[in-house]
A and B are shown apart, each in its own frame.
Chain A
């Protein structure tokens, strides 16, 4: 029997998802035993033409990480969609947009202006800006075009499954690959991780009060957090109540609050709205002004609640340009 073929591919990402696959270390041998990796540009054979030569659907699965920002990325996503029985959005960027998706808070033009003209270390007397097509003395050169908006993978192609995390935990990667190659296909649209909130698996769960109520929020640098007690109960904005489990609560083990990289559970449409309401529900007040004042203690709500999911959210991107007075305000 021939081994099922799989492909790994990246789009707009940092390389961390690729490193996570390398970090399978000895487990990667089990994966290599079970599958034939037909395409993995960073580590193995590279040819796009090899993928093009495959029959449609010949790949058992394609694992695609990173968000989509260029036409090339979109074309590769579409090619892999045709060739693969299952497409897995691998990691927070492919699923939800990820941290690079925060670029949707700025226009493409304002990014170019900042980087090449406003940055304090730039010396650009000629006023040069990189051009998509430029004639140099020896001939013509090109640079790729960048879209105005960062998109998630399923805003570009049909996606079958999602692997959460920034990057996905090694255990979830192995389980997902093995499930797919052994034909144990979950329901389409599934997120391949436990479908409960992180608080349920948190090592500090026993110290979370039943009726937790907060009168003030603290920022991580403002307190010496107790290393045993529930971080929310200590006033830190820990997104465990709104975030999917499966990560082993490693950030909390390092005494830092959850920032939500594992995304929502299946019952949630908009992760940031869910996270915001989960935190707001802990405020101990009936008075609207007081609630507003308490909520105002949360600096940068967009960067806090939508850090990994702005492109996937109902907000998607900023439509009004930022003003100097509110450089990071919501759209």
Chain B
């Protein structure tokens, strides 16, 4: 039997690894996705002060620290039974929306985008942000970098630090938005909306106008019929900051709608001995192995899942873009994994439009930003939609507010089973025998890159491409061929 090991960070610090077994005939027997990482945050959270959790858990991930910080702050509201003033909630959502725009932009232009903008089997040296700039022009490339910087500076000024924010507290935020800062947010929001529209147009021009790409996006190799989960508001529109968790079945019908506090009734984690990452599934359906369909509890989160689990977007331009996506791809639910890239841009537009609304809200500069907790803390649960999907924090404390139990279910973990399915299916469809070229491997890799995976919520996925090493071994385990894509 031959094996193909795709180890993005081989011999170094592995954060995501694909192990493909071929049978005697050279066809794919099984492709495993392994997460070789564990740090134990939930364990060493025990004994810490609850109010420090938003800052401690942000260190799970320096790419999306705001998601953990915000989930932590919301968990503290619940833990201390305190309702933040309206202005504080708006400030949190304004900062969070800003974060969603810049984080989605990072993925679309730097990480996932190059596969389409430059081409899935284009020379590897061009398949990166520089290749994207080559296609769309240097001025636009500079604008991408410039808008991201503007948004990240705004986040830093509102949250204390952009990498590892400090402003979240039970009952609100630590400081108000000054009129000057609000002006800057308004300007940044306007830039973000234009930027989002531009990204939509890039997607139309580059992907939708190319029948080859459309075929790829809608091909069976990249399709899975699973359940989908996302936060929705009272009108069932996508919401990143607050709401109920809604789940639709593979046929698109509402299957569940529940308050975040009830998460333990509906989601559970499955353990496999070959990965440090746990696989989340719907308890109501049960764990039936790595398989899709209505009988499998496997579900998906993140941009496409959020669109599937909702009835649309709460802002006008994003709603239009959502309708275009749904009608182009043949109605909901959309099961094409690669359409996640499109959904991400739709969400970028929504987050930008939400920034505009909140920056224009007179209450955003209110000094009434905290409700002091008075109740004895006991147990709290908080949920946000991280860029990569539903993120759940759950703390129990003693009466002094010291953590006795912490449970964290991160976005990529909710997607882990579906990502594993996607990698296996893409490998089966694309790989026939050990004679695998680099472009083909990239197409396998695209099956998981679409999710913008943040393995262990700590992958070092940043500008540039995921390095890959593939080792092909014969029956005796001897190395017969090595392919490097650096």
Residues of chain A at the chain B interface (Cβ within 8 Å) = 10-20, 22-23, 25-26, 41-48, 70, 72-73, 75-76, 98-100, 102-103, 105-106, 110-112, 114-116, 119-124, 126, 128-131, 134, 136-139, 141, 143-144, 146, 166-167, 219-225, 227, 250-251, 253-256, 259, 261, 299-300, 302-304, 307, 322, 326-329
Q: Are B43 and A144 in contact (CB under 8 A)?
A: no
Considering the complex, which residues of chain B in the window 34-84 have a beta carbon less than 8 Å from any beta carbon of chain A?
34, 36, 38-40, 42-44, 46-49, 51-52, 55-56, 59-63, 65, 76, 80
B153 shortest CB reach to chain A, Å: 9
B467 shortest CB reach to chain A, Å: 4
New A-B pairs, 16, CB < 8 Å, besides A16-B59, A120-B405, A304-B49: A10-B460, A12-B13, A14-B65, A18-B460, A41-B12, A105-B47, A106-B44, A114-B43, A119-B269, A123-B269, A141-B32, A219-B49, A221-B372, A221-B373, A221-B401, A256-B166
- Greatest chain A CB density within 10 A among B62, B267, B462 is at B62
How many B residues have CB within 8 A of the partner chain?
93
Known contacts: A120-B405, A221-B170, A259-B55. The answer to whether A73 contacts B13 by CB under 8 A is yes
Q: Are B486 and A106 in contact (CB under 8 A)?
A: no
B395 shortest CB reach to chain A, Å: 11
Q: Are B49 and A122 in contact (CB under 8 A)?
A: no
Q: Are A25 and B44 in contact (CB under 8 A)?
A: no
Q: Total A-B pairs in contact (CB under 8 Å)?
A: 265
Q: In the complex, which of the residues B40, B48, B174 contacts A300, with contact meaning CB atoms closer than 8 Å?
A: B48
Q: Are B275 and A130 in contact (CB under 8 A)?
A: yes
Q: Are B274 and A251 in contact (CB under 8 A)?
A: no
Q: Are A15 and B152 in contact (CB under 8 A)?
A: no
Who on chain A is nearest to B156 by CB?
A250
Stretch at the interface among B157-165, B185-193, B214-222, B225-233: B157-165
Q: Are A41 and B171 in contact (CB under 8 A)?
A: no
Q: Are A122 and B278 in contact (CB under 8 A)?
A: yes
Q: Are A72 and B11 in contact (CB under 8 A)?
A: yes
Q: Are B44 and A105 in contact (CB under 8 A)?
A: yes
Tell me if B272 is interfacial: C-beta within 8 Å of chain A: yes
11 of the cross-chain contacts (CB-CB < 8 Å) are: A10-B13, A16-B62, A19-B163, A41-B460, A111-B43, A123-B283, A144-B14, A250-B160, A256-B166, A304-B52, A322-B46
Q: Are B467 and A41 in contact (CB under 8 A)?
A: yes
A residues near B270, Cβ cutoff 8 Å:
123-124
Q: B271-314: contact bitstring with A at CB < 8 Å (1 yes, 0 no)?
A: 11111101010010001000000000000000000000000000
A residues near B160, Cβ cutoff 8 Å:
250-251, 253-254, 256
Q: Are A141 and B274 in contact (CB under 8 A)?
A: yes
Q: B392-417: contact bitstring with A at CB < 8 Å (1 yes, 0 no)?
A: 00100000111111010100000000
B residues near A254, Cβ cutoff 8 Å:
158-161, 166-167, 174-175
B residues near A110, Cβ cutoff 8 Å:
43
Q: B138-171: contact bitstring with A at CB < 8 Å (1 yes, 0 no)?
A: 0000000100010010001011111110110111
B231 shortest CB reach to chain A, Å: 18
B residues near A14, Cβ cutoff 8 Å:
59-63, 65, 458
Q: Are B268 and A303 in contact (CB under 8 A)?
A: no
B100 shortest CB reach to chain A, Å: 16
Who on chain A is nearest to B408 by CB?
A119
Q: Are B174 and A220 in contact (CB under 8 A)?
A: yes
Q: Are A20 and B278 in contact (CB under 8 A)?
A: no
Tell me if B29 is interfacial: C-beta within 8 Å of chain A: yes
A residues near B280, Cβ cutoff 8 Å:
121
Q: Within the assembled complex, what's the spacing in Å between the Cα atoms of A254 and B162?
A: 12
Tell me if B209 is interfacial: C-beta within 8 Å of chain A: no
A residues near B273, Cβ cutoff 8 Å:
128-131, 134
A residues near B316, Cβ cutoff 8 Å:
none
Q: Within the assembled complex, what's the spacing in Å between the Cα atoms of A174 and B27?
A: 51
Tell me if B197 is interfacial: C-beta within 8 Å of chain A: no
Q: Which 7 A-B pairs have the closest CB atoms?
A: A328-B47, A16-B62, A254-B160, A111-B40, A138-B21, A46-B467, A14-B62
Tell me if B264 is interfacial: C-beta within 8 Å of chain A: yes
Residues of chain B at the chain A interface (Cβ within 8 Å) = 1, 3, 9, 11-14, 19, 21, 29-30, 32, 34, 36, 38-40, 42-44, 46-49, 51-52, 55-56, 59-63, 65, 76, 80, 145, 149, 152, 156, 158-164, 166-167, 169-171, 174-176, 263-264, 267-276, 278, 280, 283, 287, 370, 372-373, 394, 400-405, 407, 409, 458-464, 467, 484, 486
Known contacts: A72-B11, A111-B43, A128-B271. The answer to whether A43 contacts B463 by CB under 8 A is yes
Q: Are A250 and B161 in contact (CB under 8 A)?
A: yes
Q: Are B63 and A119 in contact (CB under 8 A)?
A: no
Q: Are A225 and B174 in contact (CB under 8 A)?
A: yes
- Greatest chain B CB density within 10 A among A10, A134, A221 is at A221
Who on chain B is nearest to A102 by CB?
B44
Who on chain B is nearest to A104 by CB?
B44
B385 shortest CB reach to chain A, Å: 18
Q: In the complex, which of the residues A18, A146, A219 contacts B462, with contact meaning CB atoms closer than 8 Å?
A: A18
Q: Within the assembled complex, what's the spacing in Å between the Cα atoms of A214 and B268?
A: 47
Known contacts: A15-B61, A141-B32. The answer to whether A303 contacts B52 by CB under 8 A is yes
Q: Are A18 and B12 in contact (CB under 8 A)?
A: no
Q: Are B62 and A43 in contact (CB under 8 A)?
A: no
Q: Are B11 and A122 in contact (CB under 8 A)?
A: no
A residues near B486, Cβ cutoff 8 Å:
45-47
B residues near A227, Cβ cutoff 8 Å:
175-176
A265 shortest CB reach to chain B, Å: 21
Q: Are B48 and A328 in contact (CB under 8 A)?
A: yes
Q: Are B49 and A119 in contact (CB under 8 A)?
A: no
B486 shortest CB reach to chain A, Å: 4
B residues near A143, Cβ cutoff 8 Å:
34, 36, 274-276
B423 shortest CB reach to chain A, Å: 14
A residues near B372, Cβ cutoff 8 Å:
221-224
Q: Within the assembled complex, what's the spacing in Å between the Cα atoms of A15 and B149?
A: 18
Q: Are B44 and A103 in contact (CB under 8 A)?
A: yes
- Greatest chain A CB density within 10 A among B42, B174, B467 is at B174
A residues near B174, Cβ cutoff 8 Å:
220, 225, 254-256
Q: Within the assembled complex, what's the spacing in Å between the Cα atoms of A75 and B12?
A: 9
Q: Are B62 and A17 in contact (CB under 8 A)?
A: yes
Q: In the complex, which of the residues B62, B263, B403 contacts A19, with contact meaning CB atoms closer than 8 Å?
A: B62
Q: Are B458 and A15 in contact (CB under 8 A)?
A: yes
A25 shortest CB reach to chain B, Å: 5
Q: In the complex, which of the residues B164, B170, B175, B460 contacts A166, with contact meaning CB atoms closer than 8 Å?
A: B164
Q: Are A48 and B12 in contact (CB under 8 A)?
A: yes
A residues near B271, Cβ cutoff 8 Å:
116, 122, 124, 126, 128-130
Who on chain B is nearest to A113 by CB?
B43
Known contacts: A41-B467, A146-B38. The answer to whether A123 contacts B287 by CB under 8 A is yes
A residues near B65, Cβ cutoff 8 Å:
14, 16
Q: Are B47 and A120 in contact (CB under 8 A)?
A: no
Q: In the complex, which of the residues B42, B62, B403 contacts A15, with contact meaning CB atoms closer than 8 Å?
A: B62
B residues near A98, Cβ cutoff 8 Å:
59
A320 shortest CB reach to chain B, Å: 14
A residues near B11, Cβ cutoff 8 Å:
48, 72, 75
Q: Are B404 and A141 in contact (CB under 8 A)?
A: no
- Greatest chain B CB density within 10 A among A41, A98, A136, A223 is at A41
Known contacts: A14-B61, A72-B11, A299-B402. The answer to whether A99 contacts B56 by CB under 8 A is yes
